[in-house]
């Protein structure tokens, strides 16, 4: 039977299998691979922090659109960690 909602979702059993597969693949990484992914995550977070500093430089008010934009560009570092597959210590 076709999915009446039109959504392509996984069943809980399929989600469980996929999460397990990701966990096993991360556990099988070598020390060098894990260290490389951790350094990459640090670079991504540093990039987000540098962008935040650039956006907030010279802003007198501590509220408003500049503060919002600062939060958005800092979040870019975290988004890069997730999308890039880097290993952030607090990410697991």
**Is residue 4's pLDDT more than 80?**
no
Label residue 92 by pLDDT band (50, 70, 90). low
The pLDDT of residue 57 is 87
Rg (CA), the chain: 19
Q: How many domains does the chain have?
A: 1
How far, in Å, CA of 63 to CA of 21, rounded? Answer: 44
9-68 pLDDT tens trace: 888 999 999 999 988 998 999 999 999 999 999 999 999 999 999 988 877 766 788 888
Residue 50 counted as domain residue: yes
In the three-class reduction of DSSP (H, G, I as helix; E, B as strand; rest coil), residue 54 is classed as: helix
Residue 63 counted as domain residue: yes
Residue 80 counted as domain residue: yes
Residue 14 counted as domain residue: no
Q: What global pTM score does this model have?
A: 0.74
Label residue 76 by pLDDT band (50, 70, 90). very high
What does the CA dihedral 38, 79, 15, 20 come to, rounded to 10 degrees? Answer: 0
The boundaries of the domain holding residue 87 are: 46-92
Residue 37 counted as domain residue: no
Residue 62 counted as domain residue: yes
């Amino acid at each position: 039977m076709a999915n009446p909602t039109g959504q392509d979702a996984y069943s809980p059993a399929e989600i469980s299998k996929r999460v397990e597969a990701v966990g096993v693949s991360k556990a099988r990484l070598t020390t060098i691979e894990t260290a490389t992914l951790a350094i990459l995550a640090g670079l991504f977070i540093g990039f987000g922090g540098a962008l935040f500093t650039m956006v907030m430089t010279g802003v007198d008010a501590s509220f408003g659109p500049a503060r919002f934009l600062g939060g958005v560009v800092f979040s870019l570092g975290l988004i890069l960690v997730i999308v890039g597959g880097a290993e952030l210590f607090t990410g697991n």
